[in-house]
């Protein structure tokens, strides 16, 4: 299997609800290791830049408002097939459709306040990791 890195963000509803540890525990129990981490409150500009591909979507304003409403935990996760593994652990974007035991089923409130973000491909992961971290901030764990 391929060792990969992916970007994970624990969103403001989950930092507010004190679920950072519960979510990281799910990653660690399933073979993903943290290779870099930052706890931060995003500026409007930083959040807009991160979600630029959604700029024309009707929910873009709501998404940026939510992502800047409180602190986020931004992490690089590393492991075998980390991109797909992280998406499996997160569950469907809309928690109403998420499988039992997934992070979004356990902790998300709505499609907007859905607890976590995860890169959707290896290419996105590379862009998203570079958006938040310098090369030297990321430690190889394998
Ligand atoms: P995320 O994985 O962070 O990527 C884009 C985000 O847009 C997504 O999770 C959702 O939180 C958000 N999103 C998608 N669809 C909607 C929607 N219909 N209303 C509000 N937010 C949405």
The pLDDT, as a whole number, for residue 142 is 78
The residue-averaged pLDDT of 6-10 equals 99
Q: How far apart are CA 92 and CA 77, in angstroms?
A: 19
pLDDT in tens, 31-76: 999 999 999 999 999 999 999 999 999 999 999 999 999 999 999 9
Ligand 1 pocket, 59 CB below 6 A? yes
The pLDDT, as a whole number, for residue 110 is 98
Predicted confidence (pLDDT) at residue 1 exceeds the cutoff of 90: no
Predicted confidence (pLDDT) at residue 7 exceeds the cutoff of 90: yes
The residue-averaged pLDDT of 108-128 equals 98
The residue-averaged pLDDT of 77-81 equals 98
Ligand 1, closest atom to CA 114? 11
Considering the chain, what percentage of its residues have pLDDT values greater than 70? Answer: 100
The pLDDT, as a whole number, for residue 113 is 98
- DSSP class of 54: G
Residues 6+ away with beta carbon under 8 Å from 19: 10, 107, 115
Closest Cα to atom 21 of ligand 1: 112
Average pLDDT along the chain: 97
Which domains, and CATH codes, for the chain? 3-134 (3.30.70.141)
The pLDDT, as a whole number, for residue 99 is 98
Q: How far apart are CA 84 and CA 122, in angstroms?
A: 9
Ligand 1 pocket, 112 CB below 6 A? yes
Ligand 1 pocket, 109 CB below 6 A? no
Residue 4's CB: how many other CB atoms inside 10 A?
20
The confidence band for 10, taking pLDDT boundaries of 50, 70 and 90, is very high
Q: Tell me the whole-structure pTM to 2 decimals.
A: 0.97
């Amino acid at each position: 299997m391929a060792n990969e890195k992916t970007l994970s963000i624990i969103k403001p509803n989950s930092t507010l609800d004190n679920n950072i540890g519960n979510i990281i525990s799910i990653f660690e129990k399933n073979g993903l290791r943290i290779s870099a981490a930052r706890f931060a409150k995003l500026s409007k500009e930083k959040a807009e830049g991160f979600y630029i591909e959604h700029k024309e979507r009707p929910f873009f304003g709501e998404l940026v408002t939510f992502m800047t409403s409180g602190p986020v935990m931004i992490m690089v996760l590393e492991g075998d097939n980390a991109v797909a593994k992280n998406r499996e652990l997160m569950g469907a974007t809309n928690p109403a459709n998420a499988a039992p035991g997934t992070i979004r089923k356990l902790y998300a409130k709505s499609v907007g306040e859905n607890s976590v973000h995860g890169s959707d491909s290896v290419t996105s992961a590379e862009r998203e990791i570079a958006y938040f971290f310098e090369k030297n901030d990321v430690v190889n764990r394998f």
